[in-house]
Amino acid sequence: MTQPARGRGRRPQTVLEVLRTERLGPHLVRVVAGGPGFASFQNNAFTDRYVKLLFADPAAGLEPPYDLEALRRDRPEALPRPRTYTVRWVDEAAQQLAIDFVLHGDDGLAGPWADRARPGDRLVLSGPGGAYAPDPTADWHLLVGDLAALPAIAAALEALPADAVGHAVVQVESPSDVVDLARPDGLEVTWVHGVDEEALVEAVRALPWRGGDVQAFVHGERGAVKLLRRHLTDERGIDRGRLSISAYWARGRVEDQFQAEKREPVGRI
Ligand SMILES: Cc1cc2nc3c(=O)[nH]c(=O)nc-3n(C[C@H](O)[C@H](O)[C@H](O)COP(=O)(O)OP(=O)(O)OC[C@H]3O[C@@H](n4cnc5c(N)ncnc54)[C@H](O)[C@@H]3O)c2cc1C
């Protein structure tokens, strides 16, 4: 597995260009990017591999790769703003990668950018990081999340061995958000509609709980993830070492604030 090179606190940046976009549903758009800059992208083997996208204000007149240290020192108001996204797939041969963006309205940077993205637009990123990949030795697998976590869940389902068993529970706003998921026959998918966090927890609570060693991947909106953690650790007694769990976003918070709150009680999972 290759890891991105790091040097003196500077994360290398990869500068890509948008090649095409694909609408996957009313609230999801795939952006496929590549170009000469792809050569510096150092892939890893995590199915939840994620990157920090850097969004600069066009009015600041910056050219990527951005010298973040100099900007922090000399022009802090012009610092590009980071947004965290899963890399849905990487095609090394074609020198391309894809990111699936939730379209959540006009608020924000990344969602609206993806909605308007056109071939030739620039995409600047650092990373990838990552922490989870399905363990083929687990007795069964549990994957739970919302549309923001769907790219990571879909990548994990594709990476599972053909004889893997378990459950995925995915919450989407409406039935038209449901997408086809390639997966082993023994992996059942339950779709939960609406935005009620309790409904997602109820769907997980209603699953037939299998015995043995479960490996779980649980990510999504902060409120729902907190409830799910309580259920899985306190009620199901899941082994914490087998549980990948974190919030991907928080309702009513821009990512900068959401990330800052991870250091406060409200943001802790
Ligand atoms: C490791 C990791 C991987 C992630 N992978 C993905 C991914 O592959 N695809 C993806 O779409 N997101 C992913 N996210 C979530 C994404 O980083 C956040 O949704 C981020 O806030 C989006 O930035 P924005 O500029 O669009 O909106 P912001 O400027 O951050 O927020 C503006 C407003 O939109 C709301 N908002 C933000 N995201 C959502 C949402 N998903 N649904 C409804 N309202 C929302 C906020 O609460 C806020 O009120 C991931 C997060 C993490 C930590």
- Measured in angstroms, how far is the CA atom of residue 120 from the centroid of ligand 1? 23
- Measured in angstroms, how far is the CA atom of residue 149 from the centroid of ligand 1? 10
3-state secondary structure of 189: strand
- Measured in angstroms, how far is the CA atom of residue 102 from the centroid of ligand 1? 7
Mind listing the pLDDT tens digit for each residue in 113-162? 999 999 999 999 999 999 999 999 999 999 999 999 999 999 999 999 99
- Measured in angstroms, how far is the CA atom of residue 138 from the centroid of ligand 1? 30
Cβ–Cβ under 8 Å, residues 92 and 40 = no
Q: Which residues of the chain have pLDDT under 70?
A: 1-9
Strand (E) or helix (H) holding 153? helix 150-159
CATH number for the 140-267 domain, one of 3.40.50.1000, 3.40.50.80, 3.10.580.10, 3.30.70.100?
3.40.50.80
pLDDT of residue 1: 35
Q: Hey, how many other C-beta atoms are within 10 angstroms of the C-beta on 269?
A: 13
Nearest atom (ligand 1) to Cα of 81 = 25
Q: Whose CA is nearest to atom 23 of ligand 1?
A: 110
* Whole-angstrom distance, CA of residue 219 vs CA of residue 211: 22
Cβ neighbours of residue 51 closer than 8 Å, sequence gap 6 or more: 14, 84, 85, 87, 99, 125, 126, 127, 128, 129
CATH class of the region 13-129:
mainly beta
β-bridge pairing 13-25 and 122-129: antiparallel
pLDDT of residue 10: 73
* Whole-angstrom distance, CA of residue 202 vs CA of residue 92: 40
pLDDT of residue 178: 98
Strand (E) or helix (H) holding 199? helix 197-205
What region, left, alpha or beta, does residue 258 occupy, with left being phi > 0 and alpha being psi -120 to 50 degrees?
alpha
**Ligand 1: does its nearest atom lie under 6 Å from the Cβ of 251?**
yes
Q: Whose CA is nearest to atom 8 of ligand 1?
A: 86
One-letter identity of residue 183: R
- In the chain, CATH 3.40.50.80 sits at 140-267
pLDDT of residue 6: 38
- Measured in angstroms, how far is the CA atom of residue 255 from the centroid of ligand 1? 7
Which residue among 174, 248, 266, 269 is best mutated to probe the pocket of ligand 1, counting the most ligand atoms within 8 A of its Cβ? 248
- Measured in angstroms, how far is the CA atom of residue 206 from the centroid of ligand 1? 28
Cβ neighbours of residue 159 closer than 8 Å, sequence gap 6 or more: 47, 133, 134
Which residue among 52, 197, 249 is best mutated to probe the pocket of ligand 1, counting the most ligand atoms within 8 A of its Cβ? 249
* Whole-angstrom distance, CA of residue 217 vs CA of residue 234: 16
Q: Whose CA is nearest to atom 10 of ligand 1?
A: 148
pLDDT of residue 2: 37
pLDDT of residue 74: 97
Closest CA to 27 of 111, 126, 107, 89: 111
**Ligand 1: does its nearest atom lie under 6 Å from the Cβ of 111?**
yes
**Ligand 1: does its nearest atom lie under 6 Å from the Cβ of 195?**
no
- In the chain, CATH 2.40.30.10 sits at 13-129
Q: Whose CA is nearest to atom 27 of ligand 1?
A: 108
